[in-house]
Structure 1
Amino acid sequence: MLSPLREHLRDTFWFAPSAALALVCVLWLLAHWLDTAIVDELHRQQEYEAITDLIGLVDDLKTVVTTVSSAMMTFIGVVFSISLVAVQMASGLTPRVVRIFVRSRITKLTFAVFLSTFALSLLVLTSYSGETDPRRVDSVPVTQSVLTIVMVALSLLLFIAYVNATLRLMRVGHVVERITAEAFQVLHKMPRGGVDGDELPGESGQVGHSGRAGLLRDVNIARLVRAARRQDVVLRLIPRIGDFVVPGTPVLAVHGGRAPSRGALGYTVSVGVERTFHQDLGFGLRQLGDIALRALSPAVNDPTTAVQCLDRIEQLLAALAHLPLGSVGHRDRQGTVRLVQPVPSWGDFVDLGFAEIRTYAIGSPQVTRRLMAALDELLRLAPPERAEPLLRHRALLVQAVERSVPESAERAFALEGDRQGIG
């Protein structure tokens, strides 16, 4: 897997607009050079009438560029206001889904193009000299003005796409779908080969965390594999992605030799204030569970949203049912395992997906019926050796409903599996 730098930049909002502003300055310099070259060529050919025509055209375009310069900041304010409203509504589902807006490509692209258009219009205005004598004109900003109009047209198209994307992200069904899609991206990147810890060479040392405290967001797998290959050892990540680590916490165990140098292990472990999807298999289930719990709270009382989350939780668990879990191995080019990374076990995933929802679903037959259907379906799909946690949650659900619902008919209704909850 490549360096997580790209994923870290996607979790920031400053990089794309900053890069766009730098790029538009380069484009303006190229356009300015092209305008100067055109006028120089016309001077060389003594086409002064053509220069006069260009000056007249630019005078007309200057009005458009001036209008764009004054109106674009207002347009940016409108987009920013829409984003704040969308983020506020999304945080009502769970604060952890706000990252969807931060990582949204269309949002970053829209802001980047709008800011670039505004900056370009200011730069173009500096190129208008007001000189009308074609023999004394050094440059006529025709290309720059046309480029500004093209950027305005692109801004309008992106605004339409941005509004459409933002309205979709304000719908809980689409948010749940996005979370599921990102969880499957992590799942598809995960190595398929499980690793038995008993097969590793004896542990010869440990490497402690030397950075700031925080949640383990991801590790630079490629760099760790290279360091282990050069030292001819196997490294084993001790905490799981998402664990909280403090300075001194053992993060790497070394098997089969001496630990790589601190320099070789530099910038291999990344911590932060919140979890990310980059290498975190359980983060998708965590977010879906949080949305379902918020929907089941007395203040919201929205069991249909909880059922939507259970649909996706079942989908994720069905995909995990036949995969080797517990630990995965990352190999070097020769096929030798050089890094062992712990991942949650099958029981951990089942608990993460169902434990809290099962606890708070009592009293909502729509949710208990959907939960019963999900457990029955996963019992059918999962291998027999993975049935235990599913049977445990099924038994606990039955016991909780029997304690809370005194009427036998209501109990039977609440415990009848239904893939729509109440369909």
Structure 2
Amino acid sequence: MFVPRKVADSYREMINSIGFYPSLFSIGFLLFAIITMSLEYVEPVEQLKSFISVVLVDSAENARTILSTLAGSIISLTVFSFSMVMVVLNSASASLSPRVVPGLITRKSHQMVLGFYLGSIIYSIIMLININKLEGGDTAIPSLGVLFALVFGLISLGLFVFFIHSISKAIQVDNVLNGLFRQTKTEIKSIQARQAECPFNDFPDFTQWHSIKSTTEGYYKGVHTDKLCALLEQENIRIYISVNQGYFTVKGYPFLKCDKDISADEELIAKILDCFIFYIEEYISDHYRYGLTQISEIAVKAMSPGINDPGTAVKSIDMLSILLIKRLEISDTNYSFKHTDNDPLLFIHETSFDELLHDNFTPLRNYAKSDAYVMTNVLEAFKNILFVAHNDEDARNSLFNYLNAIVDDINEQVTNDYDRREIKNMLNSIARISEQQGEELVARFERHQY
């Protein structure tokens, strides 16, 4: 069954909204309030109420007072909590990176707390309007419902303490970086595990395949793999996605290739294109590359004059080095299976190691090239990557190509003799790992004259 792209986009926008879980909780509490009122005066519940009468209210005035106080107090907690969320998002955008904001908005724990607040308010109001509603004019007090409302109010107080603790941690740069690092590492490991489970190395020549043009513009962020593979198996075709995730496509851009010419089958092409996801936000769950980008941007932001936090930049650089080492363990072309002969139906162009170096270190190199401390740590990060990847010729060449650019910037920007000695020591450490290319790098550094 193929879901139209607009429906899928609306669904994704809904579940990534800050109001998604609060809405679900509100509906749940409303239904629970209705169930409570429908069972409040049945005989078994009346017997239970007589057994626990010591914790139940016995007058309509007390019930109204308790419910009104609870509703008003939780409304105050809700307003304050939503205000805290807005402050955190604004602070994260200003001091870290605007790209981390979608991840903070969709944090489930915060949404659930806000949802519990709203649900408790709705429940208390439903109980409040059901006082004195018994037929015959007698006083009817939903005492069990009032007890539940009181319990929800006490839980809300506990959740408020948790919320303040959690929101204060959410804005701390170390916690943000650690969260991004864990998520990105998990995504890389998941790809590595899938490729290890079904190894495949006999890739076809994609240059001979037929192009499929995009019918929309936007940032390509992912694909419904299972849905697309089921269609490809049904039609007995294979698809290669030739662009990186996050690439901006325009109408008519050939971002797909097919092993058969299906240009005349417009309905099939429409079904294939409906499997692709286009939107603005960057979620690490879509691709590990977004996690690398967010860590890199936090490092760049830390080096801005208004923040001036080289320690955060160095920590980000160290995390990038570890993640890039993990990236070397997966194939440059990802793939997905559907049928039993283990012949991939969908091939995905992974962002190459060389592209990752350029995309994540170039902004930092340009912004911090005059800071000897940060540049020394960049060289150390490359040394650590090289230590693992020195037997991988392609990765080694990419590293040294980029190291040449780093050395050129250092030669232009760093003139202090002490700083240059520290940098030379780091370059000598690199040379001990890969002698020939490392010695050429040291010579390049030493050739610069003042």
TM over 0.5: yes
Q: Helix, strand or coil for the counterpart of 1:242?
A: coil
Pairing 1:178-193 to 2, within 5 Å after superposition? 178-190=179-191, 191-192=194-195, 193=199
Alignment partner of 2:93 out of 78, 86, 91 = 91
Runs of 4+ in structure 1 deviating by more than 6 angstroms, as ranges, are: 3-7, 39-42, 47-51
Query: Which residue does the alignment assign to 2:152?
Result: 151
Q: Which amino acid counterpart does residue 26 of structure 1 have in structure 2?
A: L
Per the alignment, residue 350 of structure 1 pairs with 357
1:177 aligns to what? Answer: 178
What is the aligned counterpart of 1:28 among 19, 33, 57? 33
Residue in structure 1 matching 2:388, options 375, 381, 399: 381
Q: Which residue of 2 aligns with 1:209?
A: 214
What is the CA-CA distance between 1:49 and the residue it aligns to? 12
Q: CA shift at 1:199, angstroms?
A: 5.0
Residue 290 of structure 1 aligns with an amino acid whose one-letter code is: E
| 1:53-68 equivalent positions in 2, closer than 5 A | 56=58, 59-68=61-70
Q: Mark the CA change 1:109 to 1:40 in structure 2 (over 3 Å): closer, same or farther.
A: closer
CA deviation after TM superposition for structure 1 residue 166, in Å: 1.0
Distance 1:54 1:160 in 2: 27
TM-score of the superposed pair, with normalisation by structure 1: 0.86
CA spacing shift, 1:410–1:240, aligned 2, 3 Å? closer
Match status 1:338 vs 2:345? yes
User: 1: distance between equivalents of 2:148 and 2:213?
Assistant: 54
Q: In the alignment, what sits opposite 2:16? A: 11
- Count of residues paired in the alignment: 407
CA distance in 2, matches of 1:11, 1:31: 31
Encode CA deviations 1:164-206: one digit per residue, 9 max, x unaligned.
1111111111111111122123213324246665356952x44
Could you tell me how far 1:59 is from its partner in structure 2?
A: 5.0
1 CA distance for matches of 2:200 and 2:316? Answer: 29
Change (3 A) 1:305 1:49: closer
Match of 1:198? 204
Find 1:398's aligned residue among 402, 407, 432. Answer: 407
Matched-pair contact (CA < 8 Å) for 1:354–1:393: no
Could you say which residue in structure 2 is the equivalent of 1:250?
254
| Higher mean displacement: 163-172 or 399-408 | 399-408
Displacement after TM superposition at 1:416 (Å): 4.0
For structure 2, the residue ranges without an aligned partner over 5 or more in a row are: 428-450
- TM, length-normalised to structure 2: 0.81
Equivalent residue number for residue 310 of structure 1: 317
CA distance in 1, matches of 2:212, 2:90: 41
The code of the aligned residue for 2:128 comes to L
- Partner of residue 367, structure 1: 374
User: What percentage of aligned pairs have identical amino acids?
Assistant: 18
- SS of the residue corresponding to residue 81 of structure 2 reads helix
Partner of 1:421: none
Determine the structure 1 residue equivalent to 2:430: none
Q: 2: CA distance between counterparts of 1:233 and 1:201?
A: 16
Aligned to 1:228: 232
Higher-helix-fraction structure: 2
Whole-angstrom CA distance in 2 between matches of 1:145 and 1:39:
18
Residue 289 (structure 2) aligned to one of 273, 282, 302: 282
Check if 1:329 corresponds to 2:335: yes
Q: Distance in 1 between matches of 2:184 and 2:78?
A: 32
Q: What do you get for the CA RMSD once the two structures are aligned?
A: 3.1
Cross-structure match for 1:105: 108
Letter in 2 for 1:307: V
Tell me how far 1:250 sits from its aligned partner: 3.0
Structure 1: how far apart are the matches of 2:288 and 2:202? Answer: 19
Instruction: State which drifts further: 312-321 or 9-18.
Output: 9-18
How far the C-alpha of 1:105 sits from its partner, in A, is: 1.3
Structure 2 counterpart of 1:233, one-letter code: I
The answer as to whether partners of 1:87 and 1:101 remain within 8 angstroms in 2 is yes
